[in-house]
Amino acid sequence: MSHQESFINYLKYEKRYSHLTAIAYKKDLDQFEEFYVKTIGDFNVEGINDKIARMWVVELMDKGISARTVNKKISALKSFYKYLLRFEVVKENNLDNVIVPKVRKKLPQFVEEKNLDHLLDDGYFGKDFEALRDKLILSLLYGTGIRLSELMHLKDADIHTSEFLIKVLGKRNKERIVPYPRSLNQLIEEYKSERNRLFGSTAECLLLTEKGKPVYEKLIYRVVNKYLSMVTTLDKKSPHVLRHSFATHMLNRGADLNAVKEMLGHANLSATQIYTHTSLEKIRKVYRQAHPRS
């Protein structure tokens, strides 16, 4: 087994990274190895150093790869190198001096509150199985702020209708409990009734395709894009936009930042603070209304 394969197994089974995250790390390391072989010759982990890493950065930037993606790839390489150091495959850290391009912080895009209310309340969805499922997908993503992967793996037992709570298995297999809107109970029951009528009540996953199989990533993307296109002109219409919308609207209505952090499943408060930018508009509005010289 190569060092790269051993590292990916370490991420999956010891660090408990998700399958998708492990795949992303593997892809980045495979690309670096390809560059190393093309530039230096036979791949040798002991030959990895800041010089070759900087050369890789230059090539990636010349290809038009975004600064954010370049940073992600270098981060994967550094994580791999730390793993090699930990298990004494290499003796010293040769990647300390890698300079990566600065990333401009993008403010998260979100859908206006009134537009989502219009979508979910004003008859955009029918009453057949597919329509009920699609409405439940959007309602759960916006109503709880959970990630796409977390939504895909929800089971019936994870939804506690008497308490209006869902149990979510998040990144690195960390469980958390998230409230959901009380109004969702009726939709959940209608959907489950139709699902069970069509496919029986033995399904392991809450959300199924029209063929009775668990929903998959591309299906959820298609559903979200289809319905958000009806109420917004945002360039990006993804499940993560609904997560952004959840956090933004909660903070705009005065939610505690730490509480939103816990609901989103963020490890650090800094990841949640990016959503506070939208609250500035609310502050300006209050200022204009209240200050005598505004």
CA 86 to chain centre: 29
Q: Any idea which residue has 């038009």 for tokens?
A: 64
Which helix (H) or strand (E) segment holds residue 33: the answer is helix 19-39
CA distance 36 to 91: 20
Contact 55, 36 (CB under 8 A): no
Give the SS3 label for residue 238: coil
Backbone angles phi, psi at 238, to 5 degrees: -120, 170
CA distances for 48 relative to 32, 62, 80, 227, angstroms: 10, 21, 11, 47
Our CA dihedral for 51, 54, 60, 63, rounded to 10 degrees, sits at: -90
Q: Any idea which residue has 């550094």 for tokens?
A: 78
Please identify every residue annotated as catalytic: 147, 171, 240, 243, 266, 275
